[in-house]
Amino acid sequence: MNIAEKIASELNIRISQVESTIKLIDDGNTIPFIARYRKEATGNLSDETLREFGERLTYLRNLETRKEEIIRLIDEQGKLTDELKTAIEKAEILSELEDIYRPYKQKKRTRATIAKEKGLEPLSNIIYLQNDKRDINEIAKEYINSEKGVETIEDALNGAKDIIAETISDNADYRKKMKNLCNKEAVITTKATKDEKSPYEMYYEFNEVVRTLPSHRILAINRGEKEEFLKVKIEKPDEKIIDFIKQDIIKDKTSQYNPILTETIEDAYKRLIEPSVDREIRTELTEKAEEKAIKVFGKNAKQLLLQAPIKNITVLGFDPAYRTGCKLAVIDPNGKLLETATVYPTEPQNDIAGATKVIEEFIEKYGINMIAIGNGTASRESEMFISDLIQKNKHEIYYAIVSEAGASVYSASKLATEEYPDINVSLRGAISIARRLQDPLAELVKIDPKAIGVGQYQHDVNQKKLTESLTGVVEDAVNSVGVDVNTATPSLLSYVSGINKTIAKNIVEYRDTNGSIKQRKDLLKVPKLGKIAFEQCAGFLRIFGGKNPLEVTGVHPESYEKTEQLLTKMGYSVEDLLKNDQLEKLREELKKIDVKQLSKELEIGELTLQDIINELSKPGRDPREDMPKQILRSDVLKFEDLKEDMILKGTVRNVTDFGAFVDIGIKHDGLVHISQLSNNFVKNPSDVVSVGDIVDVKVIGIDTEKQKVSLSIKDAMNNK
């Protein structure tokens, strides 16, 4: 297999792009670096495409390695033929390859291997070939051997049938045909094992064709089976499969071999083929469902990480609770902790007056203009309390509901202990909630991505693959924004291209010892940050107030000379980036540049030049400013206030493959089913909405008993 050609075909890109990208990956370049600074080589492939590229490259290389190993193992047995070698080399997926290898694999003792030990393989060959015209009982009599445990004709025939059954089971063509039939016609059925309410009630009497089963149903069925609420079965076209094998094996339906082979084929299917193929079908379904779930989780996590920060505000973090009290943390505009407290405005204490006094004192003392309320236990009661407080307060204050997923994980972590050694674990959650509003990316990178809570069935999928995928997502998010090298925590720095945890820690120690880093090349003085790491990380690190104005941009040091040539050609200098009046003029002139022509004059790639132009147009600008802003509230919406046909504004909190969950300000997020997302057909919800989007929704259903609300985006649009 030509791996480059295969990837080019799958991703619909040119072979030259594939070959250049493979070389960049093999040379040790990171995906963020390749995506941002090697666009000419890759043909401008996105970070998402490059991640998929890397996964396929690894898979296909492992497949080729396994092929070589299998060819060697079969050759050592003296059974390798040209036809077999060709079949192995043509295999495109691992399961197909393993099916080909199955007959040659060293097996544990089976009924067939025991029969072979008894000398019955020649008899099985006679029956399988169906050429010997002698009476089968007379033939079988020759294989009776008391010493080997073959006492009767029946013993001999049964042993021979066991050998044939295993041969049929090991036939790769039969398995391939069976899987193809099952993919088209098999139906998955589920039945209840318990007569009680559960989240799996819709699957208590359920069936669906395997090929149309969406990923969220597969994972739900798997979980229901694991928790012993469901019994799962795959109904296959058994007769078609058995008939296909019969037609291939039985030469003459009137011969003495017909009943023996018919019985053997049915035994092979029921006892050997069907159970293993069932497992393979379930495994393949699960792998596809997990892959989809991981992609959904990754896309949601990236949107969450890239939510717009709210800068230059003092925030009161409010971590709601009942008995143990609500934790408060005041955070200044730079993320510094100013003060903490615990108040008890909720049950059982209901100390509204005491809590109001503490918070109003904080507002006066620190000039608080924003309150971030965690969305966990007692969130809505806390929201009502804060809303009433704001209405009565003379200052202009708003609040926002913030996801506190993973806050408790962070609070008890080693990192939180290092950051706040003298602060109680319970108060650290309030700090995290406040900081998530100020800078979601900087705070959320401190938490295991799996704890962010924006996926579906994330605890059921392959955890290793999920971790790898989410780590890549966080890396892409961090590097797309850029990192202030002088204020970033080790957690944030460790996700920068080319920087590991050790180097991140060394950068922080270096600036603590030597003061602020003034220019990117000073990073080469950081222990363990050599030339290779510098090349990978330099463009993603920002230095504000340093020696070179280019270093607040994403322009890589390797392009400084060309960038200065560009500015000189236009009658400007690097210092003009710091002068607002000059910068405005420069922006207008940059819009008029003929990129194609100028790239030739400067001897620089068009894509690289365009990136430089974009960076010069907005030096130091945070790309997250283009993302939807957090909804700020001053009044509360109760579930009882909801009425059908109401139009509300909400924030998309989670996107799954069956719809989107939208926070409209009540206790539980409302569901916009996939059918209600758009007037047009929607195949994938993430094609039309993303986590963090601010959307108008119409209330189309209210379930008072379950406290659930159904919403529609398309009806809200149609009402406009």
Query: For 258-303, what is each residue's pLDDT tens digit?
Result: 999 999 999 999 999 999 999 999 999 999 999 988 988 888 888 8
CB-side neighbour CA atoms (13 Å) of 347:
5
Q: How confident is the model at residue 409 (pLDDT cuts 50, 70, 90)?
A: confident
Examine domains 111-297 and 315-438 and report if their fold is the same. Answer: no
State which H helix or E strand residue 329 sits in: strand 326-331
Rounded Cα–Cα distance for residues 110 and 115 (Å):
9
pLDDT at 634: 63
Output the CA–CA distances (angstroms, integers) from residue 345 to 181, 328, 528, 589, 664, in the order listed.
Answer: 63, 12, 51, 58, 23
Mean pLDDT value across the chain = 92
DSSP assignment letter at 639: G
Separation of alpha carbons 255 and 246, rounded Å: 13
Q: Which CATH architecture has domain 639-719?
A: Beta Barrel (2.40)
> Which is more confident, 454 or 9?
9
Residue type, 278: D
Provide the 8-state DSSP code for 150: B
Please tell me the CATH code under which domain 315-438 is placed: 3.30.420.140
Integer Cα distance of 174 and 571 in angstroms:
74
Mean per-residue pLDDT, 446-468: 81
- Please name the residue ranges forming H helices in 551-657: 560-569, 580-591, 595-602, 606-617
Taking 80 as the threshold, does the pLDDT of residue 521 lie above it? yes
Does this model's pTM top 0.75? My answer is: yes
pLDDT of 453 > 90? The answer is: no
Does the structure show a pLDDT above 80 at 487? yes
**Helices 379-392 and 352-366, packing angle to 10 deg:** 60
- The pLDDT score that the predictor gives to residue 707 is 84
Q: Is the dihedral of CA 398, 401, 405, 407 positive or negative?
A: positive
Check pLDDT > 80 for residue 635: no
Please tell me whether the peptide bond between 348 and the residue prior to it is cis, using omega within 30 degrees of 0: yes
Pull the structure tokens for residue 54: 């890397």
Neighbours of 283 (CB within 10 A): 11
pLDDT attached to residue 23: 97
Task: Work out the widest C-alpha separation in the chain, in whole angstroms.
Answer: 107
What are the tens digits of pLDDT across the range 318-359?
Answer: 999 999 999 999 999 988 999 999 999 999 999 999 999 999
> How far is residue 527's CA from residue 502's CA, in Å, rounded to a whole number?
9
* CB half-sphere exposure, 302, CA atoms < 13 A: 21
Q: Report the interhelical angle of 47-76 vs 3-11 (nearest 10°).
A: 140
Type of residue at 219: L
Which residue matches tokens 């400013």? 625
Task: For domain 111-297, give its CATH number from 1.10.3500.10, 1.20.140.10, 2.30.30.60, 1.10.10.1100.
Answer: 1.10.3500.10
> Which of 79, 162, 153, 59 shows the shortest CA–CA distance to 117?
162
What is the spatial distance between Cα 426 and Cα 323, in angstroms, rounded to a whole number? 13
Distance set, CA 254 to CA 130, 136, 213 (Å): 12, 14, 43
Higher local confidence (pLDDT), 453 or 534:
534
- Reply yes or no on whether the pLDDT at 474 is more than 70: yes
State the Cα–Cα distance between residues 492 and 485, nearest whole angstrom: 10
Q: Coil, strand, or helix at residue 670? A: strand
Are 549 and 578 in contact, with CB atoms under 8 Å apart?
yes
Report the pLDDT value the prediction gives residue 636, as an integer from 0 to 100.
Answer: 63
Task: Tell me the CA distances in angstroms from 337 to 27, 305, 317, 366, 711, one per residue in order.
Answer: 43, 22, 10, 11, 39
> Cβ distance 437 to 485 under 8 Å?
no
**Confidence check: pLDDT of 466 > 90:** no
Q: How far apart are CA 536 and CA 31, in angstroms?
A: 10
Q: How many angstroms separate the CA atoms of 133 and 255, rounded? A: 9
Gap between the Cα atoms of 651 and 463, Å rounded:
28
Could you write out the DSSP letters of every residue in 281-293?
Answer: HHHHHHHHHHHHH
- Separation of alpha carbons 182 and 620, rounded Å: 56
697: pLDDT confidence band, cut at 50, 70 and 90?
Answer: very high
Q: What is the pLDDT of residue 642?
A: 86
Q: Residue 401: beta bridge partners?
A: 373
Strand order in the sheet with 187-192: 205-209, 187-192, 230-235
**107/297 Cα distance (integer angstroms):** 40
Provide the CATH number for the domain formed by 3-104 in this structure: 1.10.10.650
Domain ranges of the chain: 3-104, 111-297, 315-438, 508-626, 639-719
Label residues 39-64 b or e (16+ Cβ within 10 Å = b): bebbeebebbbbbbbbebbeebeebe
CATH 1.10.150.310 at 508-626, yes or no:
yes
Q: pLDDT tens digits for 353-388?
A: 999 999 999 999 999 989 999 988 888 889 889 999
The answer to whether the beta carbons of residues 498 and 534 sit under 8 Å apart is yes
